[in-house]
Amino acid sequence: MKKILVYPDEILRTRAEPVKEIDGRLQNLIDEMAETMYKAKGVGLAANQVGVLKRLFVMDVSQDEKGGRGELIVLINPEIVGSEGHELMEEGCLSVPDFSAKLKRPAKICVKALDREGKEVELEGGGLFARCVLHELDHLDGICFVDRLSPIKKALFRKRWQKIRAEKLAQG
């Protein structure tokens, strides 16, 4: 289990470096990230969120509501090679607990990356899949979804976030 960094940690604001070698150590990190994501009941987790500045993330958008695992997707050095349309969708983040907001992003995407074994993969899809890839890719560029909110929504978020954090501290 890895500790998930909470917004606005400096590492969440830093661009991650490309992965140069996929070895046992990196695969261990990937496995730990997957465990951490499932345990936190998230659909995606980027390396920045566990304090590692490497361009990779894990996701599983096919888990059921009871926490049953679907298909784990591992994307290393991901790159968007195509996108289509726009969609407004509710988004949340393991690094911004207890907050969600609607955000407009491309509706359909095609992403190229390496998988856990270093094999080249190209995946295409819309809905939650596209949303998750774009959200996690943002993390690798040092961007959190709340950074993309309009100025008004961002101001509301800041207020709400202060309250959420204060309540959390009071709970210990």
Active site residue ranges:
136
CA-based radius of gyration for the chain: 16
Min. distance of Cβ 154 from Zn ion in angstroms? 16
Residues 6+ apart with CB under 8 A from 123: 73, 75, 110, 111, 113, 129, 133
Question: Looking up tokens 């992965």, which residue turns up?
Answer: 19
Which one, 22 or 109, has the nearer CB to Zn ion?
Answer: 109
Q: How many residues interact with Zn ion (rule CB under 5 A)?
A: 1
Residue 4 and residue 8: Cα distance in Å, rounded? 12
Candidate segments 61-69, 87-95, 102-110, 160-168, binder of Zn ion by CB under 5 A:
87-95
Q: Does 93 bind Zn ion (CB under 5 A)?
A: yes
- Separation between Cα atoms, residue 47 and residue 115, nearest integer Å: 14
Q: How far is the CB of 127 from Zn ion (least distance, A)?
A: 17
Measured from the CB atom, the residue of 40 and 107 that comes closer to Zn ion is 40
Which CB sits closer to Zn ion, 22 or 131? 131
> Which among 8, 15, 123, 106 is positioned nearest to 61, based on CA atoms?
123
| Residues from 56 through 85 that contact Zn ion (CB under 5 A) | none
* Between 22 and 55, CB nearer to Zn ion: 55
The nearest distance, CB 145 to Zn ion, in angstroms, is 6
Burial zone of 131 (CB within 10 Å; 0-12 exposed, 13-18 middle, 19+ buried): buried
Q: Which residues bind Zn ion (CB under 5 A)?
A: 93
